[in-house]
């Protein structure tokens, strides 16, 4: 069986980046930048006041209290155009440009205007640079603000807007089809009969794929019929960059995913991974015009979630040109024992928290196996237990992969 890290490497190697496109700034959140973002101006573009108060020359406030002549006002969006001279002060608001000649600001709480606003008394001396953000201290014109491959967050939208990016160049969204298989499946709105289950995998896969930046088409689920499955795969692949199937990948009489892919001339890169849960995962590429990637995932809901996030999510982010395609890895302290397997690496669902010492604590979930999707709803991470390890004791430091969202 293929080690998990090798399987991820193969996915990365076989995934081709899609073309870039230009989108309006308001549509850029969650997209992957396809170009560096460059500052077109200094930030701040002028010496900026950090407090409401008075712009002064620090030397004029030595030996405070000091009375200074009030010669004007500067507010956000409105400068005072003169040059401050000895013995003068300018009323100033937070964010306003500091006038030429001034080198500090005294906050309004330590001042009071006198003589009907003709003068201001400064109760405490200032130091040069006090409550002033100097021009270009945050970034200089021509510097790189954001780099290609980063996913645009709401905070990044502010940076793009500040430097004039009314449109952003981003990686195209992958088009993904999701197809659940199994004659036991019924629609969510239907009442399951004997030996039937509501289709839940389609909805978790929709959510995971959309969170990874894809546009997703849910397909009607397929009964255990190889001819039907071939037709659905072929039809979906004509308009999809990736196809994600759940179910039908084991060795049972009614598991038709691999035989359907073979019949369609697909190149299968791997069909078993040293992974618990998720051993019978299939990764392939169809020989159609789009060269559609296919992920055949096990049918159990927890296996679906684990394998999608390890493999399919990696491919979808790579298609968009993201620099960070894998789940974020951390180290954590086990809150209680974690059970492994001698035959395969185990990726166990867990919650994460911090203790009073600032350490990340991983609490393995009490779950009933790869079909226990109810327990998995609380998972925030996967504890990695290496192959050949029966138990990792509580208090040990382990690797954890943080799940998205």
Tell me, rounded to whole angstroms, the distance of Cα 122 from its chain centroid.
49
Greatest Cα pair distance in the chain? 96
- At 117 the pLDDT is 85
| pLDDT score, position 11 | 98
The count of other CB atoms within 10 Å of the CB of residue 46 is 14
Per-residue pLDDT of the chain (405 residues), as tens digits, is: 899 999 999 999 999 999 999 999 999 999 999 999 999 999 999 999 999 999 999 999 999 999 999 999 999 889 999 999 999 999 999 999 999 999 999 999 999 999 888 999 999 999 999 999 999 999 999 999 999 999 999 999 999 999 999 999 999 999 999 999 888 888 888 888 888 888 899 999 999 999 999 999 999 888 878 898 999 999 999 999 999 999 877 766 556 888 999 999 999 999 999 999 999 999 999 999 999 999 999 988 999 999 999 999 999 999 999 999 999 999 999 999 999 999 999 999 999 999 999 999 999 998 766 667 788 889 999 999 999 999 999 999 999 999 997
Whether the Cβ atoms of residue 39 and residue 145 lie closer than 8 Å to each other: yes
Q: What are the residues facing 177 on neighbouring strands?
A: 217, 243
Half-sphere exposure of 89 (CA within 13 A, CB side): 32
pLDDT at residue 183 in the model: 81
Asked if the domains 48-133 and 329-402 are classified in one and the same CATH topology, the answer is: no
Place of tokens 């969202």: 405
Q: Report yes or no: 268 and 204 within 8 Å, Cβ to Cβ.
A: no
Q: Where are the domains of the chain?
A: 4-19+172-319, 20-43+137-171, 48-133, 329-402
| Locus of tokens 């939208």 | 157
Q: Which residue has the tokens 């573009």?
A: 45
Nearest to 128 by CA among 52, 47, 58, 65: 58
Instruction: Identify the architecture of domain 329-402 in CATH.
Output: Beta Barrel (2.40)
Q: What confidence score (pLDDT) does residue 236 get?
A: 94
Who's near 112: CB < 8 A, 6+ residues apart?
A: 120, 121, 123
Domain 4-19+172-319: give its CATH architecture: 3-Layer(aba) Sandwich (3.40)
Query: Which of 34, 7, 1 is closest to 19 using CA atoms?
Result: 34
Model confidence pLDDT, tens digit, residues 72-109: 999 988 999 999 999 999 999 999 999 999 999 999 99
- Contact between 91 and 111 (Cβ < 8 Å): no
Two tokens at 129?
Answer: 């640079």
Fold of 48-133: Molybdopterin biosynthesis moeA protein; domain 3 (2.170.190)
CA 136: distance to chain centroid? Answer: 29
- 264-288 burial, b if ≥16 CB within 10 A, otherwise e? bebeebbbbbbbbbbbbbbbbbbee
Per-residue confidence (pLDDT) for residue 383, from 0 to 100: 97
Span 115-142, pLDDT tens digits: 888 999 999 999 999 999 999 999 999 9
Contact present, 89 and 54 (Cβ < 8 Å)? yes
Q: What is the pLDDT of residue 224?
A: 79
Which structure tokens are listed for 156?
A: 């990044």
Q: Are 45 and 346 in contact (CB under 8 A)?
A: no
pTM reported for the whole predicted model: 0.89
Fold of the domain built from segment(s) 20-43+137-171? Molybdopterin biosynthesis moea protein, domain 2 (3.90.105)
Given a contact cutoff of 8 angstroms between Cβ atoms, the answer to whether 17 and 319 are in contact is: yes
b/e code 183-201 from CB counts within 10 Å (16+ = b):
ebbeeeeeeeeeeeeebeb
What Å distances lie between residue 258 and 177, 268, 283, 336, CA to CA?
A: 17, 9, 10, 39
Number of Cβ within 10 Å of residue 203's Cβ equals: 14
Closest CA to 74 of 132, 1, 140, 148: 132
Structure tokens at 180: 């659940």
- pLDDT attached to residue 251: 62
- What is the structure's pLDDT at 369? 67
Of 364, 311, 368, nearest in space to 334 by CA:
364
CB 404 within 8 A of CB 208: yes
């Amino acid at each position: 069986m293929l080690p998990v890290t090798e399987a991820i490497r193969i996915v990365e190697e076989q995934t081709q980046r899609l073309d870039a496109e230009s989108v309006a700034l308001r549509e850029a959140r969650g997209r992957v930048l396809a170009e560096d973002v460059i500052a077109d101006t200094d930030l701040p573009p002028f010496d900026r006041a950090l407090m409401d108060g008075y712009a002064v020359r620090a030397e004029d406030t030595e030996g405070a209290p000091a009375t200074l002549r009030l010669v004007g006002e500067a507010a956000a969006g409105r400068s005072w155009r003169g040059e401050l001279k000895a013995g003068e002060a300018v009323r100033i608001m937070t964010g306003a440009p500091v006038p030429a000649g001034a080198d500090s600001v005294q906050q309004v709480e330590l001042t009071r205007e006198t003589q009907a606003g003709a003068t201001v008394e400064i109760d405490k001396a200032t130091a040069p640079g006090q409550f002033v953000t100097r021009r270009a201290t945050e970034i200089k014109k021509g510097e790189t603000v954001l780099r290609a491959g980063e996913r645009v967050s709401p905070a990044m939208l502010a940076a793009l807007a500040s430097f004039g990016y009314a449109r952003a160049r981003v990686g195209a969204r992958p088009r993904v089809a999701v197809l659940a298989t199994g004659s036991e499946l019924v629609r969510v709105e239907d009442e399951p009969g004997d030996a039937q289950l509501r289709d839940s995998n389609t909805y978790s896969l929709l959510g995971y794929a959309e969170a990874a930046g894809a546009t997703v088409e849910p397909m009607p689920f397929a009964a255990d019929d190889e001819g039907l499955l071939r037709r659905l795969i072929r039809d979906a692949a004509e308009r999809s960059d990736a196809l994600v199937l759940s179910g039908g990948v084991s060795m049972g009489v009614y598991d038709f995913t691999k035989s359907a892919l073979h019949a369609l001339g697909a190149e299968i890169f791997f069909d078993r991974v040293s992974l618990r849960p998720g051993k019978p995962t299939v990764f392939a590429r169809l020989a159609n015009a789009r060269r559609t990637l296919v992920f055949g995932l096990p049918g159990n809901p927890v296996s679906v979630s684990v394998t999608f996030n390890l493999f399919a999510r990696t491919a979808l982010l790579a298609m968009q040109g993201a620099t960070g395609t894998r789940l974020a890895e951390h180290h954590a302290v086990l809150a209680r024992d974690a059970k492994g397997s001698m035959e395969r690496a185990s990726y166990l669902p867990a919650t994460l928290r911090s203790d009073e010492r600032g350490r990340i604590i991983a609490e393995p979930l009490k779950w009933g196996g790869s079909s226990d999707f109810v327990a998995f709803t609380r998972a925030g991470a996967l504890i990695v237990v290496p192959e050949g390890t029966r138990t990792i004791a509580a208090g040990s430091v382990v690797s954890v992969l943080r799940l998205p969202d």
